[in-house]
Structure 1
Amino acid sequence: MKIVHGRPERAGTEERGATFDGTVWADPVLPTTDGVTINSVFFTPGSRTHWHRHEHGQILQVTTGSGWVCSEGEAPQRLGPGDVVWVPPGERHWHGASTGSALAHVAVSLGTTRWESPVSEADYLAAQQD
């Protein structure tokens, strides 16, 4: 058993960069333990992840704002407060805020994450047409 009491002293808010477009901030909730990582992630309007995959899947729980999640080959799906997303192991996907709203979610990542290419501006903006 491992208990993490509140916010760990060693782990402050971190601005994410190389695998995100736009300004994205993350707070660790549970540092990687037995292949599980939990982060509280805040996306400014228009920001998003690059395409990526999770070895054993990912769970996203939206806490505030409005955004999108998209699996390769599928139409982007709108996200709002209270929504929970299960991304199966190995599924290539991206997620982030809409152009007019910030988005915050808790991300539970299972196993290693394989980061890939950025989401094209055209693909991202196509999601906004919904």
Structure 2
Amino acid sequence: MIIEPKPATVKGPVDWFTGDVWIDAIATRKPAPSRMIAVRVRFAPGARTAWHSHAHGQTLHVTAGIALMGTRDGTILRVHPGQTVYTPPGEEHWHGATPGDFMEHLALVEGTADGDGATWLEHVADDDYHRP
């Protein structure tokens, strides 16, 4: 067993996020056969991801605030602390904070041979984010 040093918190890249987002690595990719990656992501009010998908799916566990999670068909879920959402492989989606509050979630994914398995797409339009 090894106690790993805590990596520094990093700001979410502007290509992947709208608004202010901070990422803390919890579990980084280990040598095969492991593919697990886990991060804590904190979103400022109104911040959100761009549209994206994951090769092996994604599990999100909300730890603080209320998360908004949207799908291409226009559905927006409101996810509360303690709730977990699974997004199947290849499903395009976004997630973020409500306009008035911070939100934090744990993101769990299985990486691919060449990285984290995420495919990043265009930013979420304000009309899609504010959809009732």
- 1:53·1:91 contact (CA, 8 Å) conserved in 2? yes
Q: Sequence identity of aligned pairs in percent?
A: 36
SS in structure 1 opposite 2:124?
Answer: coil
Aligned partner of 1:5 in structure 2 is 3
SS of match in other structure, 2:130:
helix
Q: 1:50 to 1:82 in 2, by over 3 A?
A: same
Alignment of 1:8-19 (within 5 A): 8-9=5-6, 11-17=7-13, 18-19=15-16
Q: Distance in 1 between matches of 2:29 and 2:58?
A: 14
Quick one: distance in 2 between partners of 1:20 and 1:35?
Answer: 24
Structure 2 unaligned regions, length at least 5: 112-116
SS of match in other structure, 1:41: strand
Mapping 1:1-130, distance limit 5 Å = 5=3, 8-9=5-6, 11-17=7-13, 18-33=15-30, 34-111=34-111, 112-126=117-131, 129=132
TM-score by length of structure 1 reads: 0.88
Q: CA RMSD in A?
A: 1.4
Q: Out of 117-126 and 66-75, give the one that drifted further.
A: 66-75
What is the deviation of 1:71? 1.7
Distance between the aligned counterparts of 2:70 and 2:106, measured in 1?
Answer: 17
Deviation at 1:12, TM superposition (A): 0.6
Deviation at 1:118, TM superposition (A): 0.3
Secondary structure of the residue aligned to 1:73 is: coil
Q: Is the Cα contact below 8 Å between 2:62 and 2:104 reproduced in 1?
A: yes
Q: Which runs of 5+ in 1 are unaligned?
A: none
Is residue 26–residue 42 contact of structure 1 (8 Å, CA) maintained in 2?
Answer: yes
Provide the C-alpha distance between the structure 2 equivalents of 1:32 and 1:116, rounded to a whole number of angstroms: 23
- 2:97/2:103 contact within 8 Å kept: yes
Instruction: Tell me the TM-score normalized by structure 2.
Output: 0.87
Q: How many residues get paired?
A: 123
